[in-house]
Amino acid sequence: MNLFVAKLSPSTTSEDLNDLFAEYGEIDSAKVIFDRETGNSRCFGFVEMPDDEAANRAISELNEVEFDGSDIVVKKARPKGEGGGQRRSNFGGGGGYNSRY
């Protein structure tokens, strides 16, 4: 299961995330996301755990818990393309006149 971890401290590293979640089971990957231009942490990351039961336990026990000076949010990650981002279309901007007649 892929987990989304938000509200991380700017000083939290991928290794820190790995160590935290390893207490709950095997970790396939743990990654803090960094801004390409500035190199600063985006204060969120992803942890991939092969055992769904361990991942669900990690969600319930780590969500809204203080870690590295921040109250983190942990939940199941949504697959790419499912909500969250801006919708894009080939037809330009939105809004405009909408008549009922």
Listed in sequence order, the DSSP H helices in 1-101 are 14-22, 52-62
Q: Dump pLDDT digits (tens) for 43-64.
A: 999 999 999 999 999 999 999 9
**pTM of structure:** 0.78
Q: Compute the Cα dihedral for 90, 94, 97, 99 and give only its sign.
A: positive
pLDDT at 91: 47
